[in-house]
Amino acid sequence: MKCLSGQIIWSILGILCMIYGLFVSRSGSGTGFFLVWIAMGIAALLLASVCRLQLWSRLPAAVRTAVLVCGIIFLTAFAVVEGKILSRFQCGGRPDLDYVIVLGAQVYDYGPSKVLKCRLDTAADYLRENDRTICIVSGGQGFNEPAPEAEIMKQYLIDLGIDPQRIVVETESKNTMENIRNSFCLINPEQDTVGIVTNNFHVFRSCAIAEKAGLRHVSGIAAPSNRFYLPNNLLREYFGTVKDILAGHMKF
């Protein structure tokens, strides 16, 4: 009975992961991260087969112990990192910042992606309320993009009524690390107060990278994100955070 319950649970999880991965693949995010969900679905279905064939009890005790220990370590690390990520979901930034840096994301022929629109709409709201703040839009051109992200971001903000004289364009960055470093060339990181505008799931890592790189006065400004795709974003952000910690790019 126990094995049958495990088989059912793992089978359901596997099918759900694969279906969700297919939805993510159709979201137009510009990445292949949806394959992680497909892989997790396959792994869950394999575990269902292990339960059905009662293979777990046949493994040596040392192997079962090692698998359980690794699982506990992974889940603990995952919970700690996700807790840090979730702790920055409501950041609104300090008033009257010298600069806000809007991090780039996927753009298309017709304009910014939904993720990027959320960032730009949030930045525009802040700029309207703080009329002395300068906005840096940061993002280069990916292989599947029609133009540098920052150029499209600037035009979107202008269309929202933001004075083009308040918008500085940085078009060389390919990732968050480069967004931060290249934007540093346009400010005084020792003195200027800076808000980093990005989606809520990305605020923690972005600010931690900025602090590690030497930005003294930084605060996050959290833009909303699509709730349906939030599990995908949180999982992807977990791996991105671990990667940057191991590479020494951020404080934890």
Residue 48 placed within a domain:
yes
Q: Does 114 lie in the same domain as 215?
A: yes
| Count of Cβ atoms closer than 10 Å to residue 12 Cβ | 12
Regarding pTM above 0.85, the answer is yes
Q: With bands split at pLDDT 50, 70 and 90, how would you rate the model's confidence at 24?
A: very high
State whether 130 and 6 are in the same domain.
Answer: no
Q: Which helix (H) or strand (E) holds 2?
A: helix 2-25
The β-bridge relationship of strands 111-112 and 217-223 is unpaired
Same domain, 128 and 75: no
CA-CA distance, 180 to 138, in Å (whole number)?
Answer: 8
**Of 32, 51, 86, at which residue does a domain stop?**
86
**What total number of domains does the chain contain?**
2
Residues 115 and 194 in one domain: yes
Alpha-carbon distance 181 to 177, whole Å? 6
Distance of alpha carbon 1 from alpha carbon 54, whole angstroms: 11
pLDDT in tens, 55-112: 888 888 898 899 899 999 999 999 999 999 999 999 998 999 999 999 999 999 999 9
pLDDT of residue 64: 84
pLDDT at 28 over 80: no
State residue 144's pLDDT score: 85
Pick the residue with more confidence: 123 or 50? 123
CA 151 to chain centre: 22
- On whether residue 91 sits in a domain, the answer given is no
Residue listed under structure tokens 């960055």: 173
| 172, pLDDT greater than 60 | yes
For residues 218 and 197, what is the distance between their CA atoms, to the nearest angstrom? 11
What digits encode the pLDDT tens for the residues 213-227?
888 899 999 999 999
End residue of a domain, out of 65, 86, 107: 86
Residue 196 sits in a domain whose CATH number is 3.40.50.620
- Same-domain status, 71 and 187: no
Query: Quick one: pLDDT at residue 32?
Result: 86
Do 128 and 233 fall into the same domain?
A: yes
Percent of the chain topping pLDDT 90 = 78
Which residue shows structure tokens 């703080």? 130
pLDDT for the residue 130 = 96
Q: Residue 112 has what pLDDT?
A: 94
